[in-house]
Amino acid sequence: MTVMRWDVILWFGGFLMLLLGGVGGYRVLVGSSRRRKGEPPEERRRRRTLEEIAFSKGHAASSSVEGKPRRWSFHFAAKLALDLMYRLTSLFERTHEARAKVLLLHTFDSAVIRNDERLLSDMFDTRVFTLRVYPQSAYLRNLVHLFFWMLWHIWGARGVFFRFVDYYAAIPAFFTWIFRKKLWIVLGGYDAHHFPRYHYGVYDTPVRAWCARFAVRRATHLLPVDESLWDGVNTYISWVHADPPAKTGVKSLVPGIRADVRVIHNGFDSVFWQPDPKVQRDLSVLTIAGIPKALSESAKERTALLKGVLLILDVAAKMPQYRFLIAGTDRASLPEGLACPANVEFTGYLVPGELRRLYQKTKVFAMPSMTEGMPSALADAMLCECVPVGSSVNGIPRLIGETGFVVERPEASQWVAAIEKAMHVSMGPAARERIVAEFSIEKRRRQLQEVLCA
Protein backbone atom coordinates (compact mmCIF):
# COMPACT_ATOMS: atom_id res chain seq x y z
CA MET A 1 0.00 0.00 0.00
CA THR A 2 1.41 3.39 -1.02
CA VAL A 3 1.52 6.01 1.74
CA MET A 4 0.91 9.57 0.58
CA ARG A 5 3.71 11.89 1.71
CA TRP A 6 1.89 15.19 2.33
CA ASP A 7 5.10 16.86 3.47
CA VAL A 8 6.74 16.10 0.11
CA ILE A 9 3.67 17.36 -1.79
CA LEU A 10 3.77 20.61 0.20
CA TRP A 11 7.50 20.94 -0.46
CA PHE A 12 7.11 20.71 -4.21
CA GLY A 13 4.03 22.94 -4.09
CA GLY A 14 5.98 25.60 -2.24
CA PHE A 15 8.89 25.32 -4.67
CA LEU A 16 6.49 25.74 -7.58
CA MET A 17 5.00 28.84 -5.96
CA LEU A 18 8.51 30.17 -5.44
CA LEU A 19 9.26 29.75 -9.13
CA LEU A 20 5.93 31.07 -10.41
CA GLY A 21 6.02 33.97 -7.98
CA GLY A 22 9.38 35.14 -9.29
CA VAL A 23 8.47 34.68 -12.97
CA GLY A 24 5.02 36.20 -12.52
CA GLY A 25 6.33 39.23 -10.69
CA TYR A 26 8.95 39.80 -13.35
CA ARG A 27 6.39 39.53 -16.16
CA VAL A 28 4.02 41.94 -14.43
CA LEU A 29 6.68 44.60 -14.17
CA VAL A 30 8.17 44.04 -17.63
CA GLY A 31 4.73 43.78 -19.25
CA SER A 32 3.60 46.97 -17.58
CA SER A 33 6.65 48.73 -18.92
CA ARG A 34 6.08 47.46 -22.47
CA ARG A 35 2.42 48.47 -22.51
CA ARG A 36 3.27 52.06 -21.68
CA LYS A 37 6.22 52.84 -23.89
CA GLY A 38 4.56 55.96 -25.20
CA GLU A 39 4.23 57.73 -21.87
CA PRO A 40 6.63 60.55 -20.87
CA PRO A 41 9.82 59.50 -18.99
CA GLU A 42 8.95 61.44 -15.81
CA GLU A 43 5.47 59.89 -15.66
CA ARG A 44 6.89 56.41 -16.29
CA ARG A 45 9.43 56.74 -13.43
CA ARG A 46 6.74 57.98 -11.06
CA ARG A 47 4.34 55.17 -12.02
CA ARG A 48 7.03 52.46 -11.58
CA THR A 49 7.89 53.82 -8.15
CA LEU A 50 4.24 53.68 -7.10
CA GLU A 51 3.87 50.11 -8.41
CA GLU A 52 7.02 48.88 -6.68
CA ILE A 53 6.08 50.41 -3.33
CA ALA A 54 2.55 49.07 -3.60
CA PHE A 55 3.81 45.59 -4.58
CA SER A 56 6.20 45.46 -1.61
CA LYS A 57 3.35 46.45 0.73
CA GLY A 58 0.87 44.06 -0.84
CA HIS A 59 -1.84 46.54 -1.98
CA ALA A 60 -2.85 48.52 -5.05
CA ALA A 61 -0.90 51.59 -6.11
CA SER A 62 -2.08 55.01 -5.02
CA SER A 63 -1.33 58.25 -6.79
CA SER A 64 -0.56 59.92 -3.44
CA VAL A 65 2.48 57.65 -2.74
CA GLU A 66 5.85 59.25 -3.42
CA GLY A 67 9.25 57.60 -3.25
CA LYS A 68 12.63 57.08 -4.81
CA PRO A 69 12.73 54.69 -7.80
CA ARG A 70 14.20 51.28 -6.96
CA ARG A 71 14.65 47.95 -8.70
CA TRP A 72 12.20 45.12 -8.02
CA SER A 73 13.95 41.96 -6.80
CA PHE A 74 13.27 38.26 -6.30
CA HIS A 75 13.27 38.71 -2.51
CA PHE A 76 9.58 39.43 -2.08
CA ALA A 77 8.49 36.46 -4.21
CA ALA A 78 10.79 34.15 -2.25
CA LYS A 79 9.51 35.50 1.06
CA LEU A 80 5.91 35.09 -0.08
CA ALA A 81 6.48 31.51 -1.22
CA LEU A 82 8.25 30.55 2.01
CA ASP A 83 5.43 32.13 4.00
CA LEU A 84 2.84 30.13 2.07
CA MET A 85 4.87 26.94 2.53
CA TYR A 86 5.07 27.62 6.27
CA ARG A 87 1.32 28.23 6.51
CA LEU A 88 0.50 25.06 4.60
CA THR A 89 2.80 22.89 6.72
CA SER A 90 1.44 24.52 9.89
CA LEU A 91 -2.10 23.75 8.74
CA PHE A 92 -1.03 20.17 8.05
CA GLU A 93 0.39 19.87 11.57
CA ARG A 94 -2.77 21.24 13.20
CA THR A 95 -5.01 18.84 11.30
CA HIS A 96 -2.79 15.82 12.03
CA GLU A 97 -1.91 16.30 15.71
CA ALA A 98 -1.64 12.55 16.25
CA ARG A 99 1.33 12.51 13.87
CA ALA A 100 3.24 15.40 15.48
CA LYS A 101 6.89 14.87 14.61
CA VAL A 102 10.03 15.96 16.43
CA LEU A 103 13.57 15.56 15.12
CA LEU A 104 16.17 14.41 17.65
CA LEU A 105 19.92 14.75 17.03
CA HIS A 106 22.76 13.37 19.12
CA THR A 107 26.48 12.90 18.67
CA PHE A 108 27.19 10.09 21.14
CA ASP A 109 25.45 7.49 23.24
CA SER A 110 24.87 8.10 26.94
CA ALA A 111 22.25 7.29 29.55
CA VAL A 112 20.83 10.82 29.72
CA ILE A 113 20.51 11.00 25.93
CA ARG A 114 18.79 7.62 25.81
CA ASN A 115 16.41 8.80 28.54
CA ASP A 116 15.51 11.90 26.54
CA GLU A 117 14.94 9.82 23.44
CA ARG A 118 12.50 7.59 25.32
CA LEU A 119 10.71 10.61 26.79
CA LEU A 120 10.33 12.26 23.38
CA SER A 121 9.18 9.02 21.77
CA ASP A 122 6.35 8.81 24.30
CA MET A 123 5.12 12.27 23.29
CA PHE A 124 5.91 12.52 19.57
CA ASP A 125 6.74 10.67 16.41
CA THR A 126 10.49 11.00 16.99
CA ARG A 127 12.97 10.80 14.12
CA VAL A 128 16.56 10.27 15.30
CA PHE A 129 19.80 11.23 13.57
CA THR A 130 23.09 10.05 15.09
CA LEU A 131 26.07 12.17 14.09
CA ARG A 132 29.45 10.45 14.14
CA VAL A 133 32.13 12.82 15.43
CA TYR A 134 35.19 10.58 14.98
CA PRO A 135 37.09 10.22 12.72
CA GLN A 136 37.10 13.69 11.20
CA SER A 137 36.42 12.44 7.67
CA ALA A 138 33.28 10.66 8.91
CA TYR A 139 32.20 13.83 10.70
CA LEU A 140 32.41 15.87 7.51
CA ARG A 141 30.42 13.27 5.57
CA ASN A 142 27.84 13.18 8.33
CA LEU A 143 27.42 16.96 8.21
CA VAL A 144 26.47 16.68 4.54
CA HIS A 145 24.15 13.77 5.36
CA LEU A 146 22.61 15.83 8.18
CA PHE A 147 21.90 18.72 5.81
CA PHE A 148 19.88 16.57 3.41
CA TRP A 149 18.27 14.62 6.26
CA MET A 150 17.04 17.90 7.72
CA LEU A 151 15.83 19.04 4.29
CA TRP A 152 13.76 15.85 3.96
CA HIS A 153 12.35 15.63 7.49
CA ILE A 154 11.79 19.27 8.49
CA TRP A 155 8.45 19.33 6.64
CA GLY A 156 5.64 18.57 9.03
CA ALA A 157 7.98 18.51 12.06
CA ARG A 158 7.12 20.53 15.13
CA GLY A 159 10.75 21.22 15.87
CA VAL A 160 14.28 19.96 16.48
CA PHE A 161 15.69 18.81 19.83
CA PHE A 162 19.34 18.16 20.64
CA ARG A 163 21.86 18.25 23.47
CA PHE A 164 25.19 20.10 23.26
CA VAL A 165 26.03 22.85 20.78
CA ASP A 166 28.92 22.37 18.35
CA TYR A 167 29.75 22.74 14.66
CA TYR A 168 26.75 20.71 13.51
CA ALA A 169 24.27 22.87 15.46
CA ALA A 170 24.31 25.53 12.75
CA ILE A 171 22.53 23.17 10.32
CA PRO A 172 19.35 22.48 12.36
CA ALA A 173 19.38 26.11 13.51
CA PHE A 174 19.34 27.25 9.87
CA PHE A 175 16.43 25.00 8.91
CA THR A 176 14.32 25.82 11.96
CA TRP A 177 14.96 29.52 11.38
CA ILE A 178 13.98 29.40 7.69
CA PHE A 179 10.90 27.23 8.21
CA ARG A 180 9.81 28.76 11.53
CA LYS A 181 10.07 25.57 13.53
CA LYS A 182 10.88 25.29 17.20
CA LEU A 183 14.44 24.62 18.26
CA TRP A 184 15.03 23.15 21.71
CA ILE A 185 18.69 23.08 22.78
CA VAL A 186 19.79 21.30 25.95
CA LEU A 187 22.96 22.93 27.29
CA GLY A 188 25.05 20.22 28.91
CA GLY A 189 28.50 21.55 29.81
CA TYR A 190 31.30 22.36 27.37
CA ASP A 191 28.84 24.29 25.18
CA ALA A 192 28.31 26.80 28.02
CA HIS A 193 31.93 27.34 29.14
CA HIS A 194 34.98 29.09 27.80
CA PHE A 195 38.29 28.99 29.64
CA PRO A 196 40.91 30.43 27.24
CA ARG A 197 43.85 29.46 29.49
CA TYR A 198 42.93 25.78 29.01
CA HIS A 199 41.53 26.11 25.45
CA TYR A 200 38.31 24.61 26.76
CA GLY A 201 34.85 25.06 25.32
CA VAL A 202 33.26 25.40 21.90
CA TYR A 203 33.93 29.16 21.93
CA ASP A 204 37.70 28.78 21.81
CA THR A 205 38.02 28.70 18.01
CA PRO A 206 36.37 31.27 15.67
CA VAL A 207 34.45 28.93 13.34
CA ARG A 208 33.25 26.67 16.14
CA ALA A 209 32.23 29.70 18.19
CA TRP A 210 30.31 31.19 15.23
CA CYS A 211 28.36 27.95 14.72
CA ALA A 212 27.53 27.73 18.42
CA ARG A 213 26.40 31.37 18.68
CA PHE A 214 24.36 31.08 15.48
CA ALA A 215 22.46 28.12 16.94
CA VAL A 216 21.97 29.61 20.41
CA ARG A 217 20.69 32.92 19.03
CA ARG A 218 18.13 31.17 16.85
CA ALA A 219 16.90 28.72 19.47
CA THR A 220 13.32 29.13 20.60
CA HIS A 221 14.04 27.36 23.91
CA LEU A 222 17.28 26.91 25.84
CA LEU A 223 17.13 24.12 28.40
CA PRO A 224 20.32 24.14 30.54
CA VAL A 225 20.64 21.17 32.89
CA ASP A 226 21.99 23.45 35.61
CA GLU A 227 21.54 27.13 36.48
CA SER A 228 25.28 27.81 36.08
CA LEU A 229 25.12 26.83 32.39
CA TRP A 230 22.91 29.87 31.84
CA ASP A 231 24.59 32.29 34.25
CA GLY A 232 27.15 31.43 36.90
CA VAL A 233 30.66 31.83 38.31
CA ASN A 234 33.46 29.27 38.71
CA THR A 235 35.81 30.22 41.55
CA TYR A 236 37.30 26.71 41.78
CA ILE A 237 39.16 26.81 38.45
CA SER A 238 40.24 30.41 38.97
CA TRP A 239 42.03 29.59 42.22
CA VAL A 240 44.77 27.55 40.45
CA HIS A 241 46.37 30.62 38.86
CA ALA A 242 44.86 33.24 41.19
CA ASP A 243 42.68 34.53 38.35
CA PRO A 244 39.47 36.50 38.90
CA PRO A 245 36.33 34.34 39.24
CA ALA A 246 35.48 32.91 35.81
CA LYS A 247 32.04 33.60 34.36
CA THR A 248 30.17 30.57 33.09
CA GLY A 249 26.98 30.17 31.08
CA VAL A 250 25.82 31.21 27.63
CA LYS A 251 24.32 34.46 28.93
CA SER A 252 27.81 35.98 29.05
CA LEU A 253 29.11 34.13 25.98
CA VAL A 254 26.32 34.80 23.46
CA PRO A 255 24.86 38.31 23.35
CA GLY A 256 21.42 38.86 21.85
CA ILE A 257 19.71 35.67 23.04
CA ARG A 258 15.92 35.82 22.51
CA ALA A 259 15.04 32.24 23.48
CA ASP A 260 12.89 31.20 26.41
CA VAL A 261 15.26 29.84 29.06
CA ARG A 262 14.20 27.14 31.50
CA VAL A 263 16.48 25.06 33.67
CA ILE A 264 15.49 21.38 33.55
CA HIS A 265 17.80 19.11 35.51
CA ASN A 266 18.81 15.71 34.22
CA GLY A 267 16.80 12.70 35.33
CA PHE A 268 18.55 9.54 36.50
CA ASP A 269 17.52 5.89 36.47
CA SER A 270 17.03 4.80 40.07
CA VAL A 271 15.89 1.32 39.01
CA PHE A 272 19.10 0.28 37.25
CA TRP A 273 21.47 2.16 39.54
CA GLN A 274 20.84 0.78 43.02
CA PRO A 275 22.91 -0.77 45.81
CA ASP A 276 23.33 -4.47 46.43
CA PRO A 277 22.97 -5.28 50.13
CA LYS A 278 24.81 -8.56 49.60
CA VAL A 279 28.00 -6.78 48.50
CA GLN A 280 30.48 -5.71 51.18
CA ARG A 281 31.91 -2.24 50.57
CA ASP A 282 35.64 -1.76 50.88
CA LEU A 283 37.48 1.42 51.87
CA SER A 284 38.24 2.60 48.36
CA VAL A 285 37.84 5.79 46.35
CA LEU A 286 36.47 5.72 42.81
CA THR A 287 36.61 8.46 40.18
CA ILE A 288 35.75 8.48 36.46
CA ALA A 289 37.67 10.32 33.76
CA GLY A 290 37.61 9.73 30.02
CA ILE A 291 40.88 10.65 28.27
CA PRO A 292 41.04 9.53 24.61
CA LYS A 293 44.33 7.94 23.56
CA ALA A 294 44.27 9.81 20.25
CA LEU A 295 44.90 13.17 21.94
CA SER A 296 48.26 14.88 21.76
CA GLU A 297 50.47 14.93 24.84
CA SER A 298 49.57 18.54 25.60
CA ALA A 299 45.84 17.79 25.18
CA LYS A 300 46.14 14.72 27.43
CA GLU A 301 47.80 16.79 30.14
CA ARG A 302 45.16 19.52 29.83
CA THR A 303 42.30 16.99 29.98
CA ALA A 304 43.84 15.18 32.95
CA LEU A 305 44.12 18.51 34.75
CA LEU A 306 40.54 19.59 34.02
CA LYS A 307 39.11 16.18 34.96
CA GLY A 308 41.03 16.24 38.24
CA VAL A 309 43.11 13.14 37.50
CA LEU A 310 46.39 14.86 38.39
CA LEU A 311 44.87 16.02 41.66
CA ILE A 312 43.58 12.54 42.53
CA LEU A 313 47.05 11.05 41.91
CA ASP A 314 48.50 13.61 44.33
CA VAL A 315 45.78 12.81 46.90
CA ALA A 316 46.36 9.06 46.52
CA ALA A 317 50.05 9.52 47.24
CA LYS A 318 49.10 11.21 50.55
CA MET A 319 46.59 8.46 51.50
CA PRO A 320 48.40 5.13 50.93
CA GLN A 321 46.03 3.33 53.32
CA TYR A 322 43.19 3.51 50.77
CA ARG A 323 42.82 2.08 47.29
CA PHE A 324 42.07 4.55 44.48
CA LEU A 325 40.32 3.43 41.28
CA ILE A 326 40.22 5.51 38.08
CA ALA A 327 37.58 4.22 35.65
CA GLY A 328 36.99 5.18 32.03
CA THR A 329 40.64 5.38 31.06
CA ASP A 330 43.90 3.45 31.37
CA ARG A 331 47.52 4.26 32.14
CA ALA A 332 48.42 4.64 28.47
CA SER A 333 45.98 7.54 28.12
CA LEU A 334 47.80 9.67 30.69
CA PRO A 335 50.67 12.01 29.76
CA GLU A 336 54.05 10.34 29.45
CA GLY A 337 56.35 10.50 32.46
CA LEU A 338 53.51 10.93 34.94
CA ALA A 339 54.20 9.04 38.18
CA CYS A 340 51.35 6.93 39.57
CA PRO A 341 51.31 5.84 43.24
CA ALA A 342 51.18 2.11 43.95
CA ASN A 343 47.66 2.33 45.43
CA VAL A 344 46.15 3.62 42.15
CA GLU A 345 44.46 1.23 39.71
CA PHE A 346 43.07 1.92 36.22
CA THR A 347 40.05 -0.09 35.16
CA GLY A 348 39.79 1.11 31.55
CA TYR A 349 36.41 1.43 29.88
CA LEU A 350 33.54 -0.30 31.69
CA VAL A 351 30.06 -1.16 30.43
CA PRO A 352 27.16 0.00 32.66
CA GLY A 353 26.77 -3.38 34.40
CA GLU A 354 30.46 -3.50 35.32
CA LEU A 355 30.39 0.10 36.49
CA ARG A 356 27.35 -0.59 38.68
CA ARG A 357 29.16 -3.48 40.40
CA LEU A 358 32.09 -1.16 41.05
CA TYR A 359 29.80 1.50 42.54
CA GLN A 360 28.16 -1.11 44.78
CA LYS A 361 31.41 -2.10 46.47
CA THR A 362 33.07 1.33 46.68
CA LYS A 363 32.75 3.53 49.76
CA VAL A 364 33.56 6.98 48.32
CA PHE A 365 33.00 8.47 44.89
CA ALA A 366 35.16 11.49 44.04
CA MET A 367 34.31 14.05 41.34
CA PRO A 368 37.31 16.44 41.22
CA SER A 369 36.52 18.11 37.87
CA MET A 370 37.39 21.77 37.41
CA THR A 371 34.41 22.30 35.12
CA GLU A 372 31.25 20.27 34.56
CA GLY A 373 27.57 20.39 33.71
CA MET A 374 25.46 18.03 35.79
CA PRO A 375 27.58 14.85 35.81
CA SER A 376 25.57 11.64 35.50
CA ALA A 377 28.47 9.58 36.88
CA LEU A 378 28.14 11.35 40.22
CA ALA A 379 24.36 10.87 40.35
CA ASP A 380 24.67 7.18 39.40
CA ALA A 381 27.23 6.62 42.17
CA MET A 382 24.94 8.34 44.69
CA LEU A 383 22.06 6.09 43.59
CA CYS A 384 24.32 3.14 44.43
CA GLU A 385 24.85 4.72 47.88
CA CYS A 386 28.44 5.84 47.48
CA VAL A 387 29.36 8.80 49.70
CA PRO A 388 29.99 11.71 47.29
CA VAL A 389 32.93 14.11 47.46
CA GLY A 390 33.01 16.74 44.72
CA SER A 391 34.40 20.07 43.64
CA SER A 392 32.36 23.24 43.98
CA VAL A 393 31.66 23.69 40.27
CA ASN A 394 28.42 23.90 38.30
CA GLY A 395 25.91 21.11 39.08
CA ILE A 396 28.13 19.09 41.44
CA PRO A 397 27.16 20.90 44.69
CA ARG A 398 23.51 20.83 43.60
CA LEU A 399 23.59 17.06 43.24
CA ILE A 400 25.45 16.46 46.51
CA GLY A 401 23.47 18.85 48.70
CA GLU A 402 23.91 17.92 52.36
CA THR A 403 24.54 14.23 51.67
CA GLY A 404 28.28 14.45 51.04
CA PHE A 405 31.24 16.82 50.97
CA VAL A 406 31.97 19.73 48.63
CA VAL A 407 35.58 20.92 48.26
CA GLU A 408 36.07 24.63 47.57
CA ARG A 409 39.64 24.59 46.24
CA PRO A 410 41.73 22.21 44.10
CA GLU A 411 44.19 21.65 46.93
CA ALA A 412 45.33 18.13 47.80
CA SER A 413 45.11 18.89 51.54
CA GLN A 414 41.43 19.85 51.31
CA TRP A 415 40.63 16.72 49.30
CA VAL A 416 42.49 14.50 51.76
CA ALA A 417 40.45 15.93 54.64
CA ALA A 418 37.13 15.55 52.79
CA ILE A 419 37.81 11.94 51.71
CA GLU A 420 38.91 10.99 55.23
CA LYS A 421 35.62 12.32 56.61
CA ALA A 422 33.63 10.48 53.93
CA MET A 423 35.28 7.19 54.91
CA HIS A 424 33.83 7.40 58.42
CA VAL A 425 30.20 8.42 57.76
CA SER A 426 27.12 6.51 56.61
CA MET A 427 25.58 9.03 54.21
CA GLY A 428 25.11 6.66 51.26
CA PRO A 429 21.36 6.02 51.81
CA ALA A 430 20.70 9.75 52.17
CA ALA A 431 22.59 10.38 48.92
CA ARG A 432 20.36 7.92 47.09
CA GLU A 433 17.19 9.41 48.56
CA ARG A 434 18.22 12.88 47.39
CA ILE A 435 18.69 11.81 43.76
CA VAL A 436 15.42 9.84 43.75
CA ALA A 437 13.48 12.78 45.19
CA GLU A 438 15.04 15.69 43.30
CA PHE A 439 16.40 14.31 40.02
CA SER A 440 14.03 11.60 38.83
CA ILE A 441 13.29 10.77 35.19
CA GLU A 442 9.59 11.34 35.83
CA LYS A 443 10.23 14.89 37.02
CA ARG A 444 12.24 15.65 33.88
CA ARG A 445 9.45 14.10 31.77
CA ARG A 446 6.85 16.46 33.25
CA GLN A 447 9.01 19.52 32.77
CA LEU A 448 9.95 18.62 29.20
CA GLN A 449 6.32 17.96 28.34
CA GLU A 450 5.35 21.43 29.60
CA VAL A 451 7.94 23.02 27.28
CA LEU A 452 7.67 20.83 24.19
CA CYS A 453 3.89 20.62 24.09
CA ALA A 454 3.24 24.30 24.78
> Looking at the predicted structure, is the pLDDT value of residue 388 above 70?
yes
State the average pLDDT over residues 79-107.
65
Give the per-residue pLDDT at 70: 42
* Domains assigned to the chain: 6-89 (no CATH), 100-267+443-452 (3.40.50.2000), 282-438 (3.40.50.2000)
State the average pLDDT over residues 115-124.
91
Check: CB of residue 407 under 8 Å from CB of residue 415: yes
Give the per-residue pLDDT at 429: 95
Check: CB of residue 391 under 8 Å from CB of residue 219: no
Check: CB of residue 191 under 8 Å from CB of residue 228: no
β-partners of residue 346 are 326
In whole angstroms, give the CA distance from residue 59 to residue 65: 12
Q: Is the dihedral of CA 431, 437, 439, 441 positive or negative?
A: positive
In whole angstroms, give the CA distance from residue 450 to residue 24: 45
Give the per-residue pLDDT at 49: 63
In whole angstroms, give the CA distance from residue 316 to residue 331: 15
Give the per-residue pLDDT at 138: 81
Residue 245: is the preceding peptide bond cis (ω within 30°)?
no
Number of residues written out for the chain: 454
H-state helical runs in 254-327: 297-306, 309-318
Angle subtended at Cα 374 by Cα 372 and Cα 375, rounded to the nearest 5 degrees:
80
Give the per-residue pLDDT at 85: 58
Give the per-residue pLDDT at 269: 94
pLDDT in tens, 125-138: 999 999 887 777 78
pLDDT in tens, 251-302: 999 999 999 999 999 999 999 999 999 999 999 999 998 877 767 777 778 8
**Residue 18 banded pLDDT, cuts 50, 70, 90:** low
Element (H, E) at 60: none
pLDDT in tens, 228-246: 999 999 999 888 776 788 8
Specify the pTM.
Answer: 0.78
Give the per-residue pLDDT at 72: 43
